[in-house]
């Protein structure tokens, strides 16, 4: 039976797994016992396990997260003995190196990394890449014959192997969600291809057609233009008369002083 600490921790990790699963990995707890988890590892495309679907189990102690789990891979893979505990740094073979901060995601990511290496240990198998590819190509068909797989992953019992939620880089190329600092860009509608006679739609004005707002005290263009035109006409007509009148006044002032 799981302790309260184990129950709380594994429940939290199940939520985290659903929200943000690691690449090529999916895992769920057993419906009857939260200390037992079933996992799927999908072979990365650049490895001998490409296309493979490998089912296994994590066996957590009641003292988790203070003690590590036992780890098995049930699907024949050419890398591990089926249904035999695997010895690596995050398993119950090495309680001294266990870190309570490690999680289900951390453990299975470490297992995948160990699977892709050639290191031999308890529970491992020595085989070539060709054999691993053969096991990978047969893995899904083998899983479909296993009651435990069908009970744990009914949604994955399809004719063709189903991708786990995170198949590597596919998640990394998703556009970031909109936020206050990253608002979604909206493309303005284009009116360039609309015919001039389209009713109810005006074509966009060019920058040369734009009218700048005028200050409140600025006269209307028509009134200002008319005032300037009349002023020029009057000045051209009367300027000589004004100059003559000024000359007469200056002359009379000079005579009076003499």
Closest by CA position to 153, among listed 163, 112, 166: 163
Identify the helix (H) or strand (E) that includes residue 141. Answer: helix 129-143
Q: How far apart are CA 202 and CA 217, in angstroms?
A: 31
- Catalytic residue numbers read 87
Report which secondary-structure segment, H or E, holds 8.
helix 4-19
Quick check: 7 and 34 in contact, CB under 8 A? yes
65: its two tokens: 């997260």
In the chain, the N- to C-terminal Cα span, in Å, equals 134
Q: Compute the 3-state secondary structure of the chain and give helix, strand, coil in percent, each to the nearest 5.
A: 40, 10, 50
Structure tokens at 205: 């004005």
Beta carbons of 25 and 36 less than 8 angstroms apart: no
| 5: CB partners within 8 A, 6+ apart | 64, 65, 66
Longest Cα separation, the chain:
137
């Amino acid at each position: 039976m799981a302790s309260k600490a184990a129950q709380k921790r594994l429940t939290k990790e199940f939520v985290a797994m659903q929200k943000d699963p690691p690449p090529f990995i999916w895992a769920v707890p057993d419906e009857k016992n939260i200390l037992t988890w079933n996992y799927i590892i999908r072979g990365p495309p650049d490895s001998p396990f490409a296309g493979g679907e490998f089912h296994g189990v994590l066996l957590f102690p009641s003292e988790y997260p203070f003690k590590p789990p036992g780890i098995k891979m049930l699907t024949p893979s050419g890398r591990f003995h089926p249904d035999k505990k695997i010895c690596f740094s995050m398993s119950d073979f090495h309680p001294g190196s266990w870190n309570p901060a490690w999680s289900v995601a951390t453990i299975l990511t470490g297992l995948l990394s160990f699977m892709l290496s050639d290191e031999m240990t308890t529970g491992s198998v020595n085989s070539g890449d060709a054999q691993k590819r053969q096991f990978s190509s047969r893995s899904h068909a083998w899983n479909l014959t296993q009651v435990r797989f069908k009970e744990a992953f009914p949604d994955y019992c399809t004719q063709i192997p189903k991708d786990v939620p995170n198949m590597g880089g596919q998640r990394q190329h998703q556009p970031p969600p909109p936020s206050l600092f990253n608002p979604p860009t909206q493309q303005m509608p284009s009116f360039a291809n609309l015919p001039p006679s389209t009713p109810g739609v005006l074509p966009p004005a060019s920058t040369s057609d734009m009218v700048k707002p005028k200050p409140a005290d600025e006269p209307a263009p028509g009134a200002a233009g008319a005032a300037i035109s009349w002023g020029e006409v009057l000045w051209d007509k009367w300027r000589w008369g004004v100059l003559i009148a000024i000359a007469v006044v200056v002359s009379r002032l000079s005579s009076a002083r003499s």
